[in-house]
Structures are given as C-alpha cells and as structure tokens.
Amino acid sequence: MSASFHLESSRHPGWPAKLGPLRVPAGVVALRPPKLLDGGAWSRIRLRDRAYLENWEPTATDGWHDRNSVLSWPAQWSSLRSLARRGQALPFVITVDGELAGQITVGNIVRGSLRSAWVGYWVAADRARGGVATAAVALVVDHCFGEAGLHRLEATVRPENTASLRVLGKAGFREEGLFQRYLDVAHAWRDHYCYAMTSEEASPEGLVRRLVARGHAQIP
C-alpha cells in the first residue's frame, strides 16, 4: 500500500506533482502546487493566524500585514513557480477536505553528489491538530526520496516549537544539533534545532506506510 502520486510532464524530477490523498483524524489531506487563485484563502488564514504563526517564521521586515495581504500573493506565487520550474524548490499547498489549510515547501534543492534540500511548513491554527502536518510531511518526504530523487532532507525548528518538534519526531527525523542565533524570528536572533533524514532512514516502506501501519492514517 502506498500514497498515490499523480505526475505531469516536467523538466525537473518530481515536479509538478499532486500528492495524496491521505486520511487523518482532521480530514483528507492532499498536496498540490499553489495557484494564483489561492491568494484570497491564503491571505485570510495568514492574517487571522498572525499570533499563532509569527513566533515561528522569519521576521516580516515589511510588516506582517503587507507580507501576507492578498496583494502580495501574486509575487510570492510567481516566485515559487519560477523556483519550481528551475528545479530549485518543490512548493505545495496543503489542503484538508479540499480546502487550503497551509503550505509545505522543499527549498534550496541541490543536485549532483549532494541531492539535498530543506523542508518547511505551516498549518492553519484551526487545523493544527488531527495529524495534518504529520501527513503533509510524510507525503512530501516520500515524494522527495522517490520521484524527486533526493537523498537528504533537513528541517530547522525553534526549541520552543513543541508541536513542530513532535511532528518531526513522529516522522522519524533525527536531531543533529543546535544552530545558535540561527534566524531572525519575531525580531530577535533565535536558536534552532537542526533535524534531518536520509533516504535510507525512510526506506524501505516509506513514511506514509509507517503512518498507516501505526493506525495514524488511512489511504482512501
């Protein structure tokens, strides 16, 4: 049993792609490329959930409202689309029961002998429980180590972000160390743990199968 991956023709491994679906307690989770028409829903969630999200994301030097207004979405969407077309990123929107509920992005993709990237994600406050982030991470990791042909994924997270630490731990990422004063978050330089996983650690069954085997998810 495995998650279904529907791929279109692409010049770069693993892009574009639609991943899932995967049923968790919160609903049916799927990943798809971002669309220009996502701007309204994206902005509403980001502005509504500022207090929930702002402590974990890079400081918005241009202001949270300006960075997350509906008018800022076209430029962000265009940038993500351009990076994906150049094979430098795999940007996805997270949906729950067909509705936008967050984003997960694989960035700084390096090919050659490294075949590495980082993964970052956010989920709407009202979807923060029920396995949504865990399902999204499982889907994207399996895709990266499968169709996308990567070997290593990293994720950095503040020590105070216990929810995200649980997600990475449940997915099987291991802690590699502490990056001191690593990133400007909430107007201060914050320490971040570095977590990582290689394709050997996800094999042979993959993360989606692990979730299903443990009863945390179902493939519809």
For the segment 50-81, what is each residue's pLDDT rounded down to a tens digit? 999 999 999 988 899 999 999 999 999 999 99
Q: What is the number of domains present in the chain?
A: 1
5 belongs to a structural domain: no
Q: What is the pLDDT of residue 11?
A: 60
Tell me the average pLDDT across 1-24: 71
220 belongs to a structural domain: no
Beta strands in the chain (DSSP E): 5-12, 15-24, 27-32, 90-96, 99-110, 116-123, 152-157, 174-185, 188-198
Which residues make beta-bridge pairs with 195?
155, 175
The helix-helix angle for 162-171 and 132-145 (nearest 10°) equals 40
141 belongs to a structural domain: yes
Which residues make beta-bridge pairs with 154?
118, 196
User: Which CATH number do you get for residue 100?
Assistant: 3.40.630.30
Q: Predicted confidence band at 89 (pLDDT cuts at 50, 70, 90)?
A: very high
6 belongs to a structural domain: no
Q: What is the pLDDT of residue 5?
A: 40
1 belongs to a structural domain: no
36 belongs to a structural domain: yes
131 belongs to a structural domain: yes
Report which of residues 157 and 128 the model is more confident about.
157
189 belongs to a structural domain: yes
Residue-wise over 41-78: b if at least 16 C-beta within 10 A, else e? bbbebbeebeeebbebeebeeeebeeebeeebbeebbe
pLDDT(207) > 80: yes
pLDDT(10) > 90: no
Structural domain harbouring 154: 19-214
Q: Using DSSP, state whether 74 is helix, strand or coil.
A: helix
Q: What percent of the chain has pLDDT over 90?
A: 90
Q: What is the pLDDT of residue 203?
A: 80
pLDDT(204) > 90: no
Mode of pairing for the β-strands spanning 188-198 and 174-185: antiparallel
Interatomic CA distance for residues 89 and 219, integer angstroms: 26
